[in-house]
Amino acid sequence: MSGGAAHPPHALTDTYTPDRGDPAYVVTHYDLELDYKVATNRLAGRAVLELTVVEDARRLVVDLVGLRVSKVTVGDAPAKWVHRGPRVVITPSTPLHRGQRTRITMTYAGTPGPATTLWGDVGWEELSEGALVAAQPNGAATWFPCNDHPRHKATYRIAFECDSPYDVVATGTLVATRSRGSRTRRVFEQHVPMATYLATVHVGHYVRRPLGPADVPITVLLPAGHERPVMHDLGRLPEMTRLFRSLFGPYPFDDYTVVVTADDLEIPLEAHTLATFGPNWLDGHRHHERLVAHELAHQWFGNSLTPATWADIWLNEGFACYAEWLWGEHADGVPAATSAQSHWSRLARLPQDLVLGDPGPDLMFDDRVYKRGALTLHALRLRVGDGAFFDLLRDWAAGHRHGSVTTDDFVDLAEVHARRASAGVGSTGDAAAERVRDLLEQWLWATDLPPLAPTAGG
């Protein structure tokens, strides 16, 4: 290891994950060459990070957890570096300047495992036969060097070599496969910008089944012997895609994959164009179909539209939770209003100490974020009416497609649609926009749960 003193993280890292991310640069493309041995859980890699410098810097910080670096270059020149904890501090041979494009190349290896965080173990997870990555919010660095911040979206090429008996699926389109001896190398390319936490890889024994007829190509990977319950519980996915397309606008990617692991999982997981379920969530009785809808909705809200900071997490989870209620209304005849009233009553009995627009790291995955986020959308729907509300959702998804979003962005757009939908113009339109802003301010920034329906004359 080369020398060099570590320096403190930049002040503009995400306050929820202050030990991740470096705002001095933006990665535009990751090129990963990975070699994995299942029996020993051994990962060796070479990562090329193509980047643009956004502020003058003498050093750059790359996130990498639990794996050992053996070589670093910046451009074509060797660089000094020091690896302490989850951060590799790199000192290029010459200072870098704002607007400069260059690349970091890192060679590394080790036994990957999850990072221990405030939210439990996240990242690389070894299974009974194989492995998976569940990186939200800050586990991406457990398997590749990265600038790990939700607003940093890049394209990817992932070449993954593994023992031939195992199937491998990763985020991206499979573009090449080559088998030699007992090893198979697969190359996946992701041309749509993706946040680091949404990159994943699965290693296991799977059978592949198409799910259709569907206007979005859907593939299910599942362990042999689980086909009947899994395919039954996922059977209405094509209908879900049609409903969500009508409500949210076009599906934002080319296809959708569901991976069902052989091991039970604590929760289902979303990734870019992909969702992961344990067999415990797909039991053949559709007891958890709302979660199938939830993970699909994340392709619009969370994966195409990604929060700019983790404080904006309700833009992921509140929207996906509301999609559950919309699916329940369509498929099972349970009005979204009934779901909203039921969850409002439950939340009203719980502690009133959550600020939805900035819940803090301790509460960012609290169920109240999910449910209060969905209730916020339903309250907005009641305020502006169905036409304006769903026009707003489609405009939101289209206008920020494959980008990063903030709570302020959503409030501003809601005002625009309220003004547009008002019967008059001028002061009437301004009054409608002001009422919407006031409503959202209560739901997003007050701790007390607001009333679900607008007050008389409000």
**What's the CA gap between 147 and 52, in Å, rounded?**
12
pLDDT tens digits for range 354-368: 999 999 999 999 999
Residue 121 near residue 115 (C-beta atoms within 8 A): yes
CATH of domain 310-445: 1.10.390.10
The two structure tokens encoding residue 345:
């009553």
The contacts of residue 261 (CB under 8 Å, 6+ apart) are 127, 130, 132, 202, 204, 223, 276, 277, 278, 279
pLDDT tens digits for range 60-72: 999 999 999 999 9
User: What residue spans define the domains of the chain?
Assistant: 25-203, 207-299, 310-445
449 pLDDT higher than 90: yes
DSSP class per residue in 257-278: EEEE-SS--SS-EEETTEEEE-
Any idea which residue has 């979303």 for tokens?
Answer: 270
The two structure tokens encoding residue 15:
């306050």
Element (H, E) at 77: strand 77-78
Could you give the C-alpha distances from 118 to 139, 181, 195, 335, 365, in angstroms and in order? 12, 43, 20, 36, 11
Residue 5's pLDDT is 31
Cβ atoms within 10 Å, residue 2: 13
The rounded percent of the chain whose pLDDT value lies above 90 is 93
- What are the b/e assignments for 175-194, b being 16+ CB within 10 Å? eeeeeeeeebbbbbbbebbb
The pTM of the full predicted model, rounded to 2 decimals, is 0.94
**What's the CA gap between 223 and 131, in Å, rounded?**
14
CATH says 207-299 is which class? Answer: alpha beta
What's the CATH number of domain 25-203, 2.60.40.10, 2.60.40.1730, 1.25.40.20, 2.10.210.10? Answer: 2.60.40.1730
- What are the b/e assignments for 254-279, b being 16+ CB within 10 Å? eebbbbbbbbebeebbbbbbbbbbbb
The contacts of residue 340 (CB under 8 Å, 6+ apart) are 325, 374, 375, 378, 452
Phi-psi region of 66 (alpha: psi -120 to 50; beta: other; left: phi over 0): left
pLDDT tens digits for range 233-274: 999 999 999 999 999 999 999 999 999 999 999 999 999 999
3-state DSSP assignment of residue 142 = helix
8 pLDDT higher than 60: no
The contacts of residue 338 (CB under 8 Å, 6+ apart) are none
Residue 423's pLDDT is 60
9 pLDDT higher than 60: no
18 pLDDT higher than 80: yes
pLDDT tens digits for range 86-98: 999 999 999 999 9
